[in-house]
Structure 1
Amino acid sequence: MSLPIAQITPVTMPLTGTVNLPGSKSVTNRALLVAGLARGTSRLSGILRSDDTKYMMAALRAMGVEITEIDDTTVEVHGTGSLKPASEPLFLGNAGTAVRFLTAAVALVNGDTVITGDAHMQKRPIAPLLETLRAMGVDATSETGCPPVLVKGTGNFRSGEIEVSGTLSSQYISAIMMLAAMGDGDTRIRIGGGKIGAVGYLHITAAVMRAFGAKVVFESEIVISAGGYRAAEYPVEPDASAATYLWAADVLTKGKIDIGIAPADMNQPDAKAYDMIAAFPNMPAQINGSQMQDAVPTLAVLAAFNETPVRFTGIENLRVKECDRIEAVHAGLTAIRADLASIEGDDLIVHADPSLAGQSHPCLIDSYADHRIAMCFALAALKIDGVRIEDPYCVSKTFPNYWDVLRGLGVSVDITQP
């Protein structure tokens, strides 16, 4: 099946303007779930409206949570402190946060729940989370180790000492953390498989939980007290991952793009990418991406124009995102020029060449239906003629108006239909 293609005309002038960023996907989906588990009416402002958050809201509604939409970025969530059985399987597209968080949360349902997603999601591993849930007394199974998942909930689970695998995704630990507050006793979570990569996301989870009355303490273990959640008013901060594209576009074009918030005022891990971007065109020779994983595609494309090569390490978890992002970024860079990037183990090496700017390298970038791949290669197209991006509307996952934002900054974006 033919897909739409985005063609961007390279810019010759600095990009300037003001951009209203979407809310954070990571924070929005955590806040929606916790508000859904709380007793009373919570008001969430600044939320992200995207495919991922729509799937989360639809799933919560299917389990009896009433959600009132006040305006484009504000909702009221009316929680009862429990979830009801859904009449149909919960289809969650390719929303990793929704699938993983809800796989744990539906242990609270007194009945069977099937959680599934699209073809991409059905290739994303979830077995370590299921193993942990089974250790907590929850009947959770999958025939393939990926969705679809069947959880036979009883309305409760076993609190106490729990070990969670941190080898693949911090979302497994976040899922257990949010569930643990609903137990009848305190829970101590140990991280198995070595240190967790994106530990910053665990602190986001803890911050959201605390805002709704939960007690979370980080010691040698993560200690979560029983007691559930209470309704709250909660503002969702702008999305740091989305900000990386604007920061990179700013330095690439020597522009002045105002996103209305300073990196230091963001609590999300990807905000750390700002320092790497601000160093352009003298980015570090090695960047450990473990604590800013969603920013790595942005940084890698920017590194193509750097003065010197950049090696990205600590990024093995990128292989189990919406697609294998190490391979996808490598494929896109080498489509522009065959020697522009290489892979060694799980490291991505970008062989920088500042003279790329202003050159013509006609190519079609496969986005792999991954929003981050589509958005990061738009940056390459700002400076290289002939770069086209397949399936550009996949950005609806987290940044639905991305192409309009670029147009508002003066970029010519033409999307042709098949």
Structure 2
Amino acid sequence: MSLDTLTLLPVTQPLTGHVSPPGSKSITNRALLLAGLARGTSRLTGALKSDDTRYMAEALRAMGVTVDEPDATTFVVTSSGAWQEPAEPLFLGNAGTATRFLTAAVALQKGRFTVDGDQHMRKRPILPLVEALQSLGVAIAAPSGCPPVAIDAKGGFSKDRVVIDAGLSSQYVSALLMAAPLTRQPFEIELKGAEIGARGYIDLTLAAMRAFGASVEEVSASIWRVQPTGYRAADFHVEPDASAATYLWGAEVLTGGKIDIGTPAEAFTQPDAKAHAVISAFPHMPAVIDGSQMQDAIPTIAVLAAFNETPVRFVGIANLRVKECDRIRALSTGLNAIRPGLATEEGDDLIVAADPALAGQVLPARIDTFADHRIAMSFALAGLKISGITILDPGCVAKTYPDYWDALASLGVTFEKP
């Protein structure tokens, strides 16, 4: 969508219908990487086609991997298992998964690689992963602590063990785990400290690795041992995106509707599916919500909290400050644009002063999305109940859910376009 703004018109009846969320971004980018590292041809079905996954696919193509797209939800990946040095830097937009995963994976190839992104990605930290790879003898540098990252890869690690600080992102651990089967000997990864962002994503990583032939042992809650098996090509089905599902679950409870997304909440393996229980409690969501293990669902829940019966404090969300944007600041800015005082930041906590009476009011607000897809999609929920909610840069949803506005329209949501 190329529109600069989009204003939602409040709905006058419950939203009902069937919407199939796109495939999981998190799983699609894991599967693309692993298929690119495997020898042979892999077929990924149910996959997400969005900005983030296209950046990953394009990067693989730039390194000699064949990536075909026979239909809207399938990638067919053919690889020798070894990647070529690309002619240009690998540009990955603001795709955190692609950037972190590829940084570790190219470190075990041979050649010079530069992993880079857009202005937003260049503000997102990658130093813990860079330092871990440096400790393994990799010639790698990220002078700003964020992309671009320059790697002079020699095809191996100098040690068989690494300690990684995953307090900022579990993606650092996932990146090392997925690279580890390419080493020449069993390899151990240990967490530095107990903190890890959204541990459930590690489970997604391990499941995807095993599907492509890896052997991983969870020695303890903070140590993994990976065998040097390499990867074998596989056919792999990607489940729907649980983070995308949260917007539909939110629209359902906010309007008293019934939206069939085709997958029961309990069938998801992604961490954000935990949000279903919290969303289902609306308008009586708990006074304190710990977002540490469902981070991408917090924008959805925070906007819903504005209409809750009682105020909500969100804790365990410090990592939201280093996502596609500072999501804590973006949420408080957007909520306070709707009504001053609706949100407060206390340290890294976010407090939403709930008021069910917001529904039905005319409160013109231009929501700055900060080019963040999740801010755009979550604040659309406010526009279902409040007149005058205008989303700036609505096209940013292409990052993970290109058809989001069409999905809402299919349920009966209408828009004013400039």
The TM tier, using the shorter chain, reads over 0.9
Contact 2:108 2:183 in 1 (8 A): no
- Check whether the contact 1:286–1:310 (CA below 8 A) recurs between aligned residues: yes
Q: 1:285 aligns with which of 284, 287, 308?
A: 287
Q: Secondary structure, in 3 states, of the residue corresponding to 2:195?
A: coil
What corresponds to 1:391 in structure 2? 393
Superposition deviation, residue 184 in structure 1: 0.8
What value does the CA root-mean-square deviation take over the aligned residues?
Answer: 1.1
1:222: which partner in 2? 224
Indicate if the aligned counterparts of 2:3 and 2:395 stay in contact, CA closer than 8 A: no
The answer to which of 211-220 and 4-13 deviates more is 211-220
Match of 1:171 in 2: 171
Q: Is the 8 A contact 2:29 2:98 kept in 1?
A: yes
Moved more, 213-222 or 130-139: 213-222
Amino acid at match of 1:17: G
**Cα deviation 1:248-290 (Å, max 9, x = unaligned):** 0000000010000001000000000000000000001111000
Deviates more, 1:211-220 or 1:171-180: 211-220
1:205 lines up with 2:205 in the alignment: yes
Report what 1:53 is aligned to: 53
Compare 219-228 and 330-339 and name the one that shifted more.
Answer: 219-228
Q: What CA deviation, in whole Å up to 9, does each residue of 1:151-192 have, x standing for no partner?
A: 001122234221011111111110000011111111111111
In the alignment, what sits opposite 1:138?
138
- State how far apart, in whole Å, the 1-side matches of 2:36 and 2:323 are: 26
SS at match of 2:134: helix
1:250 equivalenced with 2:262 (yes/no): no
Compute the displacement of 1:194 (Å): 3.0
Of the structure 1 ranges 393-402 and 162-171, higher mean CA displacement relative to structure 2 is found in 162-171
Name the count of aligned residue pairs: 415
Q: Is residue 2:359 matched to residue 1:357?
A: yes
Q: How far does residue 5 in structure 1 lie from its aligned partner after superposition?
A: 0.5
- Write the letter of the residue equivalent to 1:415: K
- Of 369, 372, 386, 1:367 maps to 369
CA distance in 2, matches of 1:193, 1:283: 32
Letter aligned with residue 349 of structure 1 = I
Q: Please point out which of 367, 378, 381 is paired with 1:379.
A: 381
Q: Tell me the equivalent position of 1:5.
A: 5
State the match for 2:239 in structure 1: 237
Q: What residue number does 1:181 align with?
A: 181
Residue 18 of structure 1 pairs with residue 28 of structure 2 = no
What residue number does 1:94 align with? 94
Q: Which amino acid aligns with 1:256?
A: K
* Runs of 5+ unmatched residues, structure 1: none
Are the equivalent residues in 1 in contact too, given 2:379–2:391 (CA < 8 A)?
yes
- 1:34 equivalent in alignment to 2:34: yes
Aligned residue in 2 for 1:401: 403
Task: Give the Å deviation of 1:414.
Answer: 3.1
Tell me the equivalent position of 2:115: 115
TM-score under structure 1 length normalisation: 0.98
Q: Write the letter of the residue equivalent to 1:325.
A: R
Indicate the larger mover: 217-226 or 329-338: 217-226
Give the fraction of aligned pairs with identical amino acids, expressed as a percent: 60
| 1:100 aligned counterpart, secondary structure | helix
CA distance in 2, matches of 1:282, 1:160: 50
Q: Is the 8 Å Cα contact of residues 82 and 108 (structure 1) preserved in structure 2?
A: no
Any idea what SS the aligned residue of 1:234 has? Answer: strand
> What is the Cα deviation at residue 413 of structure 1?
2.1
Q: Any conservation in 2 of the 1:270–1:292 contact (CA below 8 Å)?
A: yes
Q: State the Cα distance separating 1:122 from its structure 2 match.
A: 0.7
Q: Tell me the CA shift for residue 3 of structure 1.
A: 7.0
